[in-house]
Amino acid sequence: MKEIVCKLLVIGAGPGGYICAIRAGQLGVDTVIVEKTKAGGTCLNVGCIPSKALIHAAEEFDRLRHTAGLNALGITVETPRLDLAQTVRWKDGIVGRLNSGVLGLLRKAKVKIVHGAARFRDGKTVEVETETGTQLIRAETVVIATGSEPVELPALPFGGAVLSSTEALSLPEVPKSLAVVGGGYIGLELGTAFAKLGARVTVVEAMAQILPQYDGELVKPVAKRLAELGVRVLTGAKAKGYSGEALAVEIAGKEERIAADKVLVTVGRRPRTEGWGLEELDLDRAGRFIRIDEHCRTSMRGVYAIGDVTGEPMLAHRAMAQGEMVAEIVAGRKRVWDKRAIPAVCFTDPEIVTAGLSPDEARAQGYEVRVGLFPFNANGRAMTTQSEDGFVRAVARADTNLVLGLQAVGAGVSELSSAFSLALEMGARLEDIAGTIHAHPTRSEGLQEAALKALGHALHI
Ligand code: FAD
């Protein structure tokens, strides 16, 4: 059996693992990374990137199909046609470019890449089944970055017409009817895209509201747009099974059958902690996830865990930030997880972006708050881009004006996420945002106006 001995072994080359390995390599740490499928993990191959590619294609198609907006600008177009197989090829091309990019960056940082599935022998040794035989890797320090996978419902096992997000991203043609079980961000992003591509979409959500992690004010513009797109939304509804091209749903004690060529199940993701020897290590757990401290250390000395395998929020940028921090710690630097904000974006139509606390969350933590809300229908840029729905909201402590949270819903607001996070990380007060010159005409002026509104003297409303 071939054997490698190294300082750092990273298991999983998703955003958490590959960033950790690149940074460790840059700092001169002798690093090996093991990946059983493709570099880039869920995010690059079957998550963030391909879903945003599909969403973009769907937006373009929808705009050309529903021409009222274009006609108002004096533009007329011929009837557009869609070749979804070509859309998928285009999306795969982007994924392929990014895959090669990640591998190139790992090589540039002098990281050794081992392709195959890792299996723990003990806390510091793994076996990897590679194409050329079994490889043994012994390391001083191990980072578990094995990510997460879609949760399967017993009543709706994956296969045939029942899809996870992974299969939904590579369909050869648009289903005539699609039932989306689970109205969280993944289900709604993909459900909206398929509605725009021409599918008749029904969303089935067990909770009383779609996107239950957000307050109703933020969700309202999304619900309105779904209705415009003809998406039927069933809340308080439970999917019971699929047969005869129909999804059985229980709603208010009654059973309804919803015609659906395909069923997309997006009811959450679970950490990849089973089936590769991790159980035998007996690491402390936090529910289903691996328990970590503020340095991403597990309960076993020299074993770290980062990314989705460690819990919520399961987001690529959190995994990357943890990976970068752990690499620096392994290289001997003093680092600790002291982030004030992990921004979150929901790429629905319109988009939602949040960082820090909502008004309700801030009140629940005992703060007396000032809240300022600026609607995009009073913003010049929103008018000139024909997308006036939504708003920016600022939440601050009433006594000191320290900003506690920032939220927005509207077209393209994902790009406000960096301003939101920076404000929170820098400990901004409402006056800091209000006194910063924001370029005109931009949607970001909504942020300045929301801060001004919270201070009691908005200028444009
Ligand atoms: P992963 O990306 O899951 O990577 C883990 C890697 O480990 C995988 O490549 C896997 O093959 C490998 N692995 C597992 N076990 C082994 C083993 N035993 N041996 C070797 N290798 C192994 N997040 C965002 O921030 N923004 C978004 O817009 C966004 N959109 C998403 C859309 C969809 C449809 C989905 C499904 C997810 C989305 N996410 C998004 C979430 C994001 O993809 C994850 O949070 C992120 O990928 C987590 O990174 P990770 O490094 O922890 O794990």
How many A from CA of 74 to the centre of ligand 1?
Answer: 44
Choice from 19, 42, 55, 318 to test ligand 1 binding pocket (greatest atom count within 8 A of CB): 42
Q: Which residues contact 404 (CB under 8 A, 6 or more apart)?
A: 356, 357, 362, 367, 369, 395, 396, 397
Q: What is the DSSP letter of 107?
A: H
Evaluate whether 40 touches 332 at the Cβ level (below 8 Å). no
Q: Is the CB of 47 under 6 A from ligand 1?
A: yes
CA 433 to chain centre: 27
Q: Whose CA is nearest to atom 38 of ligand 1?
A: 47
Residue 154 and residue 238: Cα distance in Å, rounded?
A: 13
Q: Which atom of ligand 1 is nearest to the CA of 320?
A: 51
Model pTM? Answer: 0.97
Choice from 9, 34, 38, 43 to test ligand 1 binding pocket (greatest atom count within 8 A of CB): 43
Query: Hey, what are 112's tokens?
Result: 């050794």
Q: Is the CB of 449 under 6 A from ligand 1?
A: no
Q: Is the CB of 401 under 6 A from ligand 1?
A: no
Q: Is the CB of 21 under 6 A from ligand 1?
A: no
Q: Which amino acid is at 249?
A: V
According to DSSP, the β-strands at 246-251 and 254-259 are antiparallel
How many A from CA of 15 to the centre of ligand 1?
Answer: 7
How many A from CA of 328 to the centre of ligand 1?
Answer: 22
Residue 359: strand, helix, or coil: helix
Residue 268 and residue 218: Cα distance in Å, rounded?
A: 21
How many A from CA of 285 to the centre of ligand 1?
Answer: 19
Residue 453 and residue 394: Cα distance in Å, rounded?
A: 9
pLDDT tens for the chain, 461 residues long, are 789 999 999 999 999 999 999 999 999 999 999 999 999 999 999 999 999 999 999 999 999 999 999 999 999 999 999 999 999 999 999 999 999 999 999 999 999 999 999 999 999 999 999 999 999 999 999 999 999 999 999 999 999 999 999 999 999 999 999 999 999 999 999 999 999 999 999 999 999 999 999 999 999 999 999 999 999 999 999 999 999 999 999 999 999 999 999 999 999 999 999 999 998 898 999 999 999 999 999 999 999 999 999 999 999 999 999 999 999 999 999 999 999 999 999 999 999 999 999 999 999 999 999 999 999 999 999 999 999 999 999 999 999 999 999 999 999 999 999 999 999 999 999 999 999 999 999 999 999 999 999 999 999 99
Annotated catalytic residue 457: no
How many A from CA of 436 to the centre of ligand 1?
Answer: 37
Q: Is the CB of 43 under 6 A from ligand 1?
A: yes
How many A from CA of 14 to the centre of ligand 1?
Answer: 5
Q: Which residue has the tokens 């599918």?
A: 199
3-state per-residue secondary structure call for 165-226: HHHHCCCCCCCCEEEEECCCHHHHHHHHHHHHHCCEEEEECCCCCCCCCCCHHHHHHHHHHH
Q: Which atom of ligand 1 is nearest to the CA of 148?
A: 3
CA 71 to chain centre: 34
Q: Which of 295, 438, 440, 457 is catalytic?
A: 440
Confidence check on the interface: ipTM exceeds 0.85, yes or no: yes
Choice from 52, 134, 146 to test ligand 1 binding pocket (greatest atom count within 8 A of CB): 146
